[in-house]
Amino acid sequence: MTKKEQFEGVVYEHDYIVESRWKILDFIANKYAVLQVSQLTKFSDNDWDFRKEGAKACLYLERLVKGDEETRFPILILLKTLMLALSGLASVVDKSGGTIYNITSSARDLIFWLVSKGYLTSNHKGGYFKAPCDLLPEDFAEFIALVDSQNISRSYKFEKIRLLKEWWALSRNEGILPQFLKLSSNPFGSNSLSDLFISTPVVSKKKFGSLPLGEEESGWAPIPLDYAFPLADAAASYVEDFGDGLIRFHQVVYEGVVANRRSNSVTRAALLEACAVKGITIEDLSKGLPFKIDLVGYAPPSSSRNSTVKLKRKEAEKCIKHMKRAAITVILFVTGARSRELANLKVGCCQPDYSLGVDRFYRLTVTVFKTSREYHKGQVLTIPVPEIAYKAVKVLEALNSLTRVDGFLLAPMFRRQRGRVAREEVCISSILNAVKKFASDVGVGYLPHPHQFRKTIAGWFVMNSPVLGPLLVMRLFSHNSLSMTEMYLRNNPLIREARQEMLAEQSLKVVGSIASAVKDGKLAGPAGHRFAQGINEDPAFLGITGEELGATMEEYLRERISQASVHFLLTPLAICVFDPNDEVRRPCASLESAKITGDQISVGSNIEKQLSLLDVTDGLPVVDKCVGARCGSCLITHCESQKLEQSLSFYQDLIAGALQDDYAHNIYLMRDAQEFVRVYTPILEQIK
Q: What is the pLDDT of residues 5-39, one digit of tens each?
A: 343 344 444 577 888 889 999 999 999 899 888 88
Residue 479 lies in a domain: no
Same structural domain, 207 and 255:
no
Query: pLDDT confidence of 211, banded at 50, 70, 90?
Result: very low
Q: At what angle do helices 108-116 and 69-87 cross, to 10 degrees?
A: 140
**By the 8 A CB rule, do 638 and 520 touch?**
yes
Q: Residue-wise over 619-635: b if at least 16 C-beta within 10 A, else e?
A: ebbbbbbbbbbebebbb
pLDDT (0 to 100) of residue 640: 67
Q: Residue-wise over 137-170: b if at least 16 C-beta within 10 A, else e?
A: eeebeebbeebbeeebbbbbbbbbbbbbebbbbb
Residue 159 lies in a domain: yes
Gap between the Cα atoms of 463 and 569, Å rounded: 9
Q: What percent of the chain has pLDDT over 90?
A: 26
Cα angle, residue 463 at apex, residues 457 and 468 outer, rounded to 5°: 75
Number of domains in the chain: 3
395 has pLDDT over 80 = yes
Same structural domain, 264 and 126:
no
Gap between the Cα atoms of 115 and 109, Å rounded: 10
Residue 473 lies in a domain: no
pLDDT (0 to 100) of residue 423: 47
| Average pLDDT of span 257-268 | 83
Cα angle, residue 155 at apex, residues 151 and 156 outer, rounded to 5°: 55
Q: Which residues contact 135 (CB under 8 A, 6 or more apart)?
A: 119, 183, 184, 185, 187
651 has pLDDT over 80 = no
| Average pLDDT of span 174-200 | 78
| Average pLDDT of span 311-333 | 95
End of a domain among 425, 444, 463? 444
Gap between the Cα atoms of 485 and 476, Å rounded: 9
Query: pLDDT confidence of 590, banded at 50, 70, 90?
Result: low
Residue 226 lies in a domain: no
CA distances from 407 to 321, 338, 378, 416 (A): 19, 19, 17, 18
Gap between the Cα atoms of 132 and 432, Å rounded: 40
| Average pLDDT of span 85-107 | 79
Same structural domain, 601 and 663:
yes
Give the residue ranges of DSSP H helices in 428-545: 428-442, 450-458, 468-477, 482-490, 493-520, 525-537
pLDDT (0 to 100) of residue 323: 97
Range of the domain at 32: 4-217
Q: What is the pLDDT of residues 452-504, one digit of tens each?
A: 898 898 887 777 666 678 788 888 988 666 667 777 887 888 888 888 777 88
Distance of CA 380 to the CA centre of its chain: 20
**By the 8 A CB rule, do 553 and 510 touch?**
no
Same structural domain, 518 and 649:
yes
End of a domain among 217, 244, 264? 217
Same structural domain, 189 and 259:
no
Q: What percent of the chain has pLDDT over 70?
A: 78
Q: Report DSSP letters for 40-104, one per residue.
A: TEETT-SEEE-GGGT-SSEEEHHHHTTS-HHHHHHHHHHHHHHHHHHHTTTSS----HHHHHHHH
More confident residue, 524 or 4: 524
Same structural domain, 386 and 314:
yes
Residue 319 lies in a domain: yes
What's the burial of 217, exposed, middle or buried (CB within 10 Å: 0-12/13-18/19+)? buried
Query: pLDDT confidence of 299, banded at 50, 70, 90?
Result: low
pLDDT (0 to 100) of residue 425: 60
More confident residue, 138 or 284: 284
Same structural domain, 245 and 140:
no
Gap between the Cα atoms of 496 and 500, Å rounded: 6
Strand partners, 191: none
Same structural domain, 208 and 246:
no
Same structural domain, 213 and 298:
no
Distance of CA 271 to the CA centre of its chain: 46
Per the rule left: phi > 0, alpha: psi between -120 and 50, beta: everything else, 309 is beta
More confident residue, 380 or 580: 380
Same structural domain, 239 and 367:
yes
Residue 480 lies in a domain: no
Same structural domain, 255 and 212:
no
Gap between the Cα atoms of 222 and 368, Å rounded: 21
Query: pLDDT confidence of 198, banded at 50, 70, 90?
Result: low
Same structural domain, 194 and 267:
no
More confident residue, 347 or 264: 347
Q: What is the pLDDT of residues 431-450, one digit of tens each?
A: 988 999 999 999 999 999 99
Q: Is 82 helix (H, G, I), strand (E, B) or coil?
A: helix
Query: pLDDT confidence of 340, banded at 50, 70, 90?
Result: confident
Residue 475 lies in a domain: no
511 has pLDDT over 70 = yes
641 has pLDDT over 60 = yes
pLDDT (0 to 100) of residue 539: 75
pLDDT (0 to 100) of residue 243: 97
Kind of pairing, strands 36-38 and 41-42? antiparallel
Gap between the Cα atoms of 567 and 461, Å rounded: 13
Gap between the Cα atoms of 558 and 551, Å rounded: 11
Q: What is the pLDDT of residues 104-136, one digit of tens each?
A: 999 999 999 998 888 999 888 888 888 998 888
End of a domain among 189, 217, 245? 217
What's the burial of 501, exposed, middle or buried (CB within 10 Å: 0-12/13-18/19+)? middle
| Average pLDDT of span 631-656 | 77
Of these ranges, 137-141, 302-306, 622-626, the one predicted with the greatest mean pLDDT is 137-141
| Average pLDDT of span 211-240 | 75
CA distances from 13 to 17, 21, 438 (A): 6, 11, 63
Query: pLDDT confidence of 365, banded at 50, 70, 90?
Result: very high
Residue 484 lies in a domain: no
Query: pLDDT confidence of 280, banded at 50, 70, 90?
Result: very high
83 has pLDDT over 80 = yes
What's the burial of 244, exposed, middle or buried (CB within 10 Å: 0-12/13-18/19+)? middle
| Average pLDDT of span 374-402 | 87
Q: Give the CATH number for residue 367.
A: 1.10.443
